[in-house]
Chains A and B, each alone.
Chain A
Amino acid sequence: MNKLNIRTGLGAVGKGVPVLGLAIAELVLFCLFLTAVSLVGIGLGVLLVPALAVAVRSVVNASRGTAERWSGRAIEEPYLPAPAPEPGLKGQWQRTHWVLTDPATWRDLAWMLVNPVAGVVVALLPLALVVGGIGGILMPAIYRPIADAGTNYYLWVQISDLTSAWYCAALGVAVLAAGLVTGPALLRAHASLARTLLAPTRTAQRVRRLTHSRSEAVSSSAAELRRIERDLHDGAQARLVALGMNLGVAEQLLSKDPEAVRAILADTRKASAAALTELRDLVRGIHPPVLADRGLADAVRALAMDSPLDVTVNADLPGRPDAPVESAMYFAVAEALANAAKHAAPDSVSIDLWYEAGALRGQVIDDGRGGADPSRGTGLRGIERRLAAFDGLLAINSKPGGPTTLTMELPCALS
């Protein structure tokens, strides 16, 4: 055993001590909290539960803190977001409901039972071993009164004379060493025990991610609808009004000035063509026609043809995904291609589309200047949001100097 290990071993011995304090606080709070919950029936609990929950959570968070220090990995708080604060009894009831329906509350309670028992044993075992070991080592010096007092044992050695006391000392060294060696490992064990009960469950993390992406999807589709409404109102609709007015004027002038009517009609025809162009662009922005007609592969091929860049497309899709998924991938690829054209100045771009392990995948590789960073580009953020709405992911590999690879993945089934 080298010096460094002795030092970390000794550190681990002391570190477990605060767990005892936490465990006591947790036991007390456990009893108080259960009492408060049982009083919800007669109304008093409604006042107590939210206040106690604050105390419970701060104490349990202290356990999260120790686990983080011991394992080096942070434990996220798993609690559901608090409801909007409302005054009075209604607000109290909402907060009570919020606390009691959160699975994390009950996992906290379980922890508050487990930690005082198993947790304290695990955390204090190194200290107990070290203290016990020292006791054994001192035995040759202090064995006499112990031996005189009658039958006494150190572990399984009966203390009766100096020889047995030296056996005890030898055992004490082993016990002390065991305490120092196992100390750090036991602390890590304590941290992982804490993690199993106190970290957000996989489901909770997923719920949180989905809640977040849903709210983003909802707000971005609302923004999209507003944009469409505005475009229709300012564009095509206004043009059609102007068309109607022109035709009215033409009707009036028909008998008096046929030449003027001819000019007005020519204008009107141009305006109707312009209105059609605007509507066409609008439709293309919502649901590209080739995507509707032929599906993703041909839509991306059409996209490649319209791009000013030299783009090759390889698509291997055995079927068609649902329309929203297909559309999300299409717009993600379109955005990636537009990004490449705008920022990367590549000689060539290759787009691959394939289906693998239950997910639609797309990869856009350009040999441009690289250095793409989602924290700066709104385009990449947009792609991420678009994919996140379907539980999909974007991976970016873009060293300065290039090349840039964007990999997009959307879990889905093919029809």
Chain B
Amino acid sequence: MRVVLAEDLFLLRDGLVRLLESYDFEVVAAVDTGPALLQALLEHEPDVAVVDVRLPPTFTDEGLRAALEARRQVPGLPVLVLSQYVEQLYARELLADGSGGIGYLLKDRVFDPDGFVDAVRRVAAGGTAMDPDVVAKLFAKEHHRDGPLSRLTPREREVLGLMAEGRSNAAIAQELVITERAVIKHTSNIFTKLDLPVSEADNRRVLAVLAYLR
């Protein structure tokens, strides 16, 4: 699987390259600035990009902007954004086109290599990988409002939370110690309660997240 990597700190970039290569990814480009990232993404059109939010030359949200611009030019280009902090504002911008293939994780998540690589693979496959911190904040907020989420049962909320993180039905079943059949039942209930149409099964998981990002 071909990866483009953008990270300005040499130590982290080096570590990420080694980590990804040890899991049999092919790092086709490892860049350290926003403009170089955009160029590499458009040139290589990788299977997935792993991008740090804060990059030179502005050291603000250069990486995020480059990733969004690349996705505008190559729709659905899978991007996993890493950040020192997670913000709902950025999560919303990343998910705004509703086409999946998006991840947004705290940098600390690379401490768990298996989990991190799993997230990279999910994003590459067109799924989502939202940081549990983002998901937790969404739930905290929705709790105070009479949004569509208030119609969900506690168990359905749990399932939706894990779904928003981007876990598969099998992974959710394992996490909650229930059968996969039960998970499928819960997810279809969630889609119904959130008024999400039955088509495009994969994207509905993204739309479910978007439903309460709004």
Contacts and interface: CB of A to CB of B under 8 A. Distances in A.
Are A and B subunits of one complex? yes
Contacts of A289: 84-85, 87
B45 interface: no
Contact of B89 (A269, A280, A284, A305): A305
A289 B107 CA distance: 15
Interface in A286-313: 289-290, 292-294, 298, 301-302, 305-310
A294 B84 CA distance: 16
B88 A306 contact: yes
Contacts of B111: 269, 272-273
B88 A294 contact: no
A276 interface: yes
Contacts of B88: 302, 305-306
Contacts, number: 48
Nearest to A290: B87
Interface residues of A, number: 22
A308 B84 contact: no
Contacts of A308: 140-141, 143-144
Contacts of A307: 141
B61 A293 contact: yes
B89 A273 contact: no
Contacts of A306: 88, 137, 141
A298 B60 contact: no
B185 interface: no
Contacts of A293: 53-54, 60-61
A244 B149 CA distance: 44
Contacts of B144: 308-310
A305 B108 contact: no
A269 B111 CA distance: 7
Interface of B: 53-54, 60-61, 84-85, 87-90, 92, 107-108, 111-112, 137, 140-141, 143-145
A207 to B, nearest CB: 38
A291 to B, nearest CB: 10
B4 to A, nearest CB: 22
A309 B140 CA distance: 10
Nearest to A294: B61
Interface string A28-46: 0000000000000000000
B85 A280 contact: yes
A292 B60 CA distance: 7
A273 B107 CA distance: 10
Max chain A Cβ within 10 angstroms of own Cβ: one of B87, B92, B108: B87
Please name the 6 residue pairs, one residue from A and one from B, whose CB atoms are nearest each other, closest first.
Answer: A293-B60, A293-B61, A305-B88, A302-B89, A308-B144, A273-B108
B89 to A, nearest CB: 4
B145 A310 contact: yes
B108 A290 contact: no
A284 B85 contact: yes
Contact of A305 (B53, B141, B145): B141
Nearest to A298: B89
Nearest to B142: A308
A94 to B, nearest CB: 50
Given A280-B85, A302-B88, 4 more contacts: A280-B84, A294-B61, A301-B89, A305-B141
Nearest to A305: B88
B100 to A, nearest CB: 22
Contacts of B108: 272-273, 276-277
